[in-house]
Chains A and B, each alone.
Chain A
C-alpha cells in the first residue's frame, strides 16, 4: 500500500516563529488532507489539497503531486497551534481510504 512519511517528528518553537512541515508519499494520490489534532484529541480539517496551493489565515499548504510531497506552512505561531499535525492521502483511483502519516508533534512555547 501507499507509504506516508512526515518530518520532522517533533518540533518545539517559540511563539511567533514560522514552521514548515513536510509530507512525502510513495504513489499517486487523488486525495491529500492536512489535519490538526489538538490536545483534546479532536481532528480538525486544515486543507484538502491533492494538488496546488491554498491559504487560510496564518496557514498555507502546497502539494506537488508529480514529486509526491506536500508542505504545510504555519506563520506567526501561537500556543493554540500546539498539537499533532497529520497528513493523510487517498490513492489514485480505487478505494477511498486515507492512509495517515505518523504526524509532526508541534509545541509552541509562550
Chain B
C-alpha cells in the first residue's frame, strides 16, 4: 500500500525560474491538499483539490502560484518566477472520499531552495 508520493524530494531553482511539484495521492483517495512549511514554522494550508476541481484556494498566493489535479495523473503545484521567499518545504496530503472520516495522510514533502 503505497502512501502519498511526492517528487522531486529536493528542488533547486534560481530566481525567476519555474518550479513544478508533483503529488500522487494514496490509492482510493480523491481529495488532495497542499501545505507550505517555512523554516522553523508550522504548516500552512494552500489549496484543496478534487479531481478536475479546485475546492478551496484561500491559502494560495494570488500571483505566481497555481495548482491542478487532472482527471489522469498527479496533482501539480506550479510556482512561476520563483523568489527567495518561496524557499520552503511543500507538503501534499490526501484523504478518502468519505465525509465522516477525513483523516489526512502526508507525503514526504518537496524541499524547494531558491538561489
User: Which chain A residues have a beta carbon within 8 Å of chain B's beta carbons?
Assistant: 30-31, 33, 35, 41-43, 45, 48, 86, 88, 90, 95-103
User: A97 to B42, Cβ gap below 8 A?
Assistant: no
- Give B78 Cβ to nearest chain A Cβ, in Å: 20
Main secondary structure of the interface of B (DSSP, over half): strand
B61 within 8 A of partner (CB):
no
**B68-76, B79-87, B100-108 - interface stretch:** B100-108
Q: Given that A41-B89, A41-B111, A43-B91 are known contacts, is A98 also in contact with B104, CB under 8 Å in the complex?
A: yes
Which residues of B approach A to under 8 Å, CB–CB? 31, 33, 35, 41-45, 48, 55-56, 58-59, 89, 91, 93, 95, 102-106, 108-109, 111
**Are the CB atoms of B106 and A35 closer together than 8 Å?**
yes
Residue in chain A with minimal CB distance to B56: A95
Instruction: Name the A residues within 8 Å of B35 (CB-CB).
Output: 98, 100
Q: Please name all residues of chain A whose beta carbon is closer than 8 Å to the beta carbon of B42 when the two chains form the complex.
A: 86, 100-103
Determine whether the beta carbon of A45 is less than 8 Å from that of B105.
Answer: yes
A47–B42 CA distance with the chains assembled, in angstroms: 18
CB distance from B94 to the nearest CB of A (A): 11
A41 touches B109 (CB 8 A): yes
Contact A96 B102 (CB under 8 A): yes
Q: Find out whether the CB atom of B109 lies under 8 angstroms from the CB atom of A42.
A: yes
